[in-house]
Amino acid sequence: MRTFLFQALVSLVFGFVFGIIGLFVGAWFGGNFATEVVFNGVRGYEATSQIGLILFALVGLVMGWKFMEKRKKKTH
């Protein structure tokens, strides 16, 4: 049980860090290249930063989970 909670916590940290990175990457991309994108009622860099946040956070969650799975298998 403890390892599952630790794995979930590490995954959330990965998701948070990747989400913040995605926020900035999305804002940079939207401000320079995708100024006409509309998402969630906003346009341009605001829209792509939200998309980047969501996508990168999901990727971070999955990567954190897989990282801990691999680490758990290595120690057992």
Q: What is the pLDDT of residues 28-60, one digit of tens each?
A: 999 999 889 999 999 999 999 999 999 999 999
Per-residue model confidence (pLDDT) at position 26: 94
- Is it the case that residue 73 has pLDDT exceeding 90? no
- The kind and range of the H/E element at 40 are none
Per-residue model confidence (pLDDT) at position 28: 95
Stated pTM of the model: 0.84
- Cα–Cα distance for residue pair 40/62, rounded to 1 Å: 24
- Cα–Cα distance for residue pair 55/75, rounded to 1 Å: 31
